Amino acid sequence: MNEFKVSSDRVFPVGEIGSMEDSLKRIGEKVGCSVRVSPHVGRHTFATLALSKGMPLETLQKVLGHKTIISTQVYAELINPKIGEDTDRMREKIGGMFRLAN
């Protein structure tokens, strides 16, 4: 594997080896990460950790740029099964009245 140069003013060496995804993949390999690291995995990890540490769902919605809270609820369902159950129950009650994203 070719070594990549890390500029002192950058966190990730983007530009030296190509895209952000390539950079993250190489960093993951270098540190022995068993999961393929990607921008999507990083975003998902951030969202899950933020909720588990107490960030309100509405705040996370804004941080992630989701237009509706329903998109953000996916992360809440992962860390708290009760939230998932409540969300499913609400979908059953109002699903016919509103078009909900899955």
Dump the DSSP string for 41-53.
HHHHHHHHHHHHT
User: What's the average model confidence in pLDDT over 32-55?
Assistant: 86
| CB-based contacts of 18, cutoff 8 Å, min separation 6 | none
Q: Is the pLDDT of residue 94 over 90?
A: no
Question: How many other CB atoms are found less than 10 A from the CB of residue 86?
Answer: 14
User: What's the average model confidence in pLDDT over 51-55?
Assistant: 88
Check residue 95 and give its pLDDT: 66
User: What's the average model confidence in pLDDT over 47-70?
Assistant: 90
Token pair recorded at residue 88: 């499913």
Q: Is the pLDDT of residue 66 over 80?
A: yes
Whether the model clears a pTM of 0.75, i.e. scores above it, the answer is no
Confirm if 62 and 56 have CB atoms less than 8 A apart: no
Check residue 31 and give its pLDDT: 86
